[in-house]
Amino acid sequence: MRINKYLAGCGVAGRRACDKIIEEGRVKINGKVCKLGDEVKENSDAVFVDGQRVSMKSKHQYYLMNKPKGCVCTVKDDKGRKTVMDFLPAGVGRVYPVGRLDYDTEGMLILTDDGDLAFRLTHPKNEIPKTYLVRIEGTVGETELNKLRGGVELDGKTTGKSNVRIVETDKKFTKLHVTITEGKNRQVRRMFESIGKNVDFLKRIKIGDMGLGSLERGKVRKLTAEEVFYLTNI
C-alpha cells in the first residue's frame, strides 16, 4: 500500500495533507525517513509520524454525541430514565459512553467499544483537558474565580488547577468557559457551589481541542479517522 494511503487510513490526515507531511520528512518506515510513493506492508512495517507510531484504523466503532439534558450516561437505567443509548441510530453495534455527563448536563460525549481509548480519555493520570460552558446566576469576582483556578476542596481533596474565564456577563447571569483535567462526580457544579454560586446551565463543548462543530443537540455522528487519531494521541 502507498504510504500516503496508509497514513490517511490511520487517520493522520487526508491524502494530500499526508503527501505534504511525507515531503517534510516527518514520516519514517522501520526507522528510515520515507518519500512519496514508498510502499508499506501493513502487517510487518512500523510507521511513525513525528515519532509517534501509527496504524490502520481498527474495526472499533467511534461516535460523537451532542448529549441533551434529561438522559443518563449509562447503557441501562434501573430507574427507567432515558439513556444516551436511546439516541443512537439503528444499526450501531455495542458501544458505551466514555465518562459521564450528569442528567442535567449536555454536550460532547464519545461512545465507543474501544476500551483503550476510553481508558486514555478518562484516567486522571492522562490529564485530558475538557472544556465546559457554564452559566451561573448573578455575577462573580476575580477573587472567587482565582479560588476555582487554584483548586477547591471536594470530598476532602483539593481539585487540580483549572482554566476559568468569563465570556459573557450582566447582573442576572454570567457565562464562563471552564477547563479541567479531572472527572470527579458533578465536579464543575460542585466547584461553583464551593464559592456559593449556582450553575443553571452546563455543557461540555470540547475534549482537548476537538469540539462539537455543528452537531445539533441530541444528534449522533461517526467520528472521522482524523478525529480518532487525534483522540488516541492527545
Residue predicted with more confidence, 31 or 92: 31
**19, 45, 102, 113: which one is catalytic?**
102
Segment 195-205 mean pLDDT:
96
Residue 119: predicted pLDDT: 86
Residue 58: predicted pLDDT: 62
Segment 64-86 mean pLDDT:
93
104 catalytic residue (yes or no): no
DSSP-assigned beta bridge partners for residue 137 = 173
Segment 140-168 mean pLDDT:
93
**Residue written as cell 479531572?**
182
Please give the model's pTM, rounded to 2 decimal places. Answer: 0.76
Residue 85: predicted pLDDT: 93
For residue 104, pLDDT beyond 90: yes
70 is written with which cell numbers? 434529561
182 is written with which cell numbers? 479531572
User: CATH top-level class for 62-124+212-233?
Assistant: alpha beta
Residue predicted with more confidence, 201 or 76: 201
User: Going by C-beta distance under 8 Å and a sequence separation of 6 or more, which residues neighbour residue 98?
Assistant: 109, 110, 111, 112, 117, 118, 121, 122
CATH number attached to the domain at 3-54: 3.10.290.10
Q: What residue segments make up the domains of the chain, in order of their start?
A: 3-54, 62-124+212-233, 129-207
| DSSP string of 66-121, one letter each residue | EEPSS-BSSS--TT---BGGGGSPTT--S-EESS---TT-EEEEEEES-HHHHHHH
Residue 16: predicted pLDDT: 79
211 is written with which cell numbers? 469540539
Segment 151-163 mean pLDDT:
91
DSSP state of 126: G
Residue 88: predicted pLDDT: 93
Distance of CA 14 to the CA centre of its chain: 21
Give 69's pLDDT tier (boundaries 50, 70, 90). Answer: very high
User: CATH top-level class for 129-207?
Assistant: alpha beta
62-124+212-233 and 129-207: same fold? yes
Q: Which helix (H) or strand (E) holds 226?
A: helix 225-233
- Mean pLDDT computed over every residue of the chain: 91
Residue 139: predicted pLDDT: 94
Query: Strand pairing of 199-207 and 106-112?
Result: parallel
Sheet (strand 32-33) strand order: 32-33, 27-29, 47-49, 52-54
Query: Strand pairing of 52-54 and 153-154?
Result: unpaired
Give 208's pLDDT tier (boundaries 50, 70, 90). Answer: very high
